[in-house]
Amino acid sequence: MDGIISAEIGRFVREESGNRFGEGGERYFDDPLVGFAAADDALFMQYKSVIGEFHLTPHELALADAGEPWHPRTVICWVLPITEATRTSNRPETVYPSRAWAQTRQHGETFNASLRRHLVRFLEERGHRALAPQLHPAWREYGETPVGIASSWSERHAAYAAGLGTFSLNDGLITERGIAHRLGTVITDLALKPSPRPYLHHKVNCLWHRDGTCGACIGRCPVGALSKEGHDKRICRDHVYGTIPAKVAETYQVTSTGCGLCQTKVPCEGKIP
């Protein structure tokens, strides 16, 4: 069944018009990576210490779901790699993202939400319970926590649990297709074989954390939110959700722009360096 799930996610990404720049345009995302984590994996409880007590486990999300209580067994995770063309357009930028990057952030994430809803329906039509944490009423964002801005469900941490990548100096997830991507998750009562986690530690794909080299993302940040000590989420957020939209959102015809400078023109942009 894991092959069927992966195939359906791949089909949706390839065929749905929502994954395109306008009618018949190029895709926002290349073919996805898909991984699976056991809902009772000990990592999900550990995240209450790593992220915060407010971070929900798959079981807590299922208990908060509407209808009869149900027992989650699998967290399905996917990576939507941003296309080479869009990444190329963002490399020369030094303050604001390219138009293609900004449109991928808004319209591509709208497509990603459609994929979440589609997969929930796909599973329910086959007699299973399912939910998308990012779209669930229990999802919350917290502005002041020991780890800075955080939410009640982290798709990056779920993807790490599903063997899809490890963390970077800028807090992104470096996958085999790099760090320039969007992520998605769905929790279900369908039991699927967990994907292996083929890494030595949770930061091994990042050159800075692996051997102290690189740090290219530090120089790519126009507002100094990155340093050898890590990622200042507050400075980053003010730029990404305040300064950039105020400057280019109207011109780009979007409301959310993203930034992505630290995810492009870096060695981990499209691969594990």
Report if residue 269 sits inside a domain.
no
pLDDT block averages, 10 residues each, the chain of length 273: 95 97 89 98 97 96 90 98 98 98 98 98 97 96 85 97 97 98 98 96 96 95 95 94 96 96 98 97
- Number of structural domains found in the chain: 1
Taking the complete model, does pTM exceed 0.85, yes or no?
yes
CA separation for the pair 203, 160 (Å, rounded)? 10
Please name which of 76, 45, 52, 36 lies closest in space to residue 195, comparing C-alpha atoms: 36
List the domain range (segments joined by +) for residue 180: 2-263
80: exposed, middle or buried (Cβ count in 10 Å: 0-12, 13-18, 19+): buried
What's residue 252's pLDDT? 96
CA separation for the pair 28, 22 (Å, rounded)? 10
- Please name the residues in contact with 164: beta carbons below 8 A apart, sequence gap of 6 or more: 33, 35, 77, 79, 173, 175, 195
Report if residue 228 sits inside a domain.
yes
- The type of residue at 142 is Y
The three-state DSSP-derived secondary structure of 202-252 is CCCCCHHHHHCCCCHHHHHCCCCCEECCEECHHHHHHHHHHHHHHHHHHHH
Q: Is the dihedral of CA 96, 100, 101, 107 positive or negative?
A: positive
Report if residue 27 sits inside a domain.
yes
CB atoms within 10 A of CB 23: 6
User: What is the CA angle 112-217-224, rounded to 5?
Assistant: 105
List the structure tokens of 107: 């319209």
Report yes or no: 78 and 34 within 8 Å, Cβ to Cβ. yes
What's residue 22's pLDDT? 84
User: What is the CA angle 260-266-268, rounded to 5?
Assistant: 95
Report if residue 36 sits inside a domain.
yes
Report if residue 270 sits inside a domain.
no
**Which segments within 3-118 are labelled E, that is strand?**
33-38, 74-81
What's residue 67's pLDDT? 81
What's residue 29's pLDDT? 98
Report if residue 171 sits inside a domain.
yes
Report if residue 268 sits inside a domain.
no
Report if residue 237 sits inside a domain.
yes
- Please name the residues in contact with 156: beta carbons below 8 A apart, sequence gap of 6 or more: 167, 171, 172, 173, 183
CB atoms within 10 A of CB 37: 27
DSSP state of 64: T
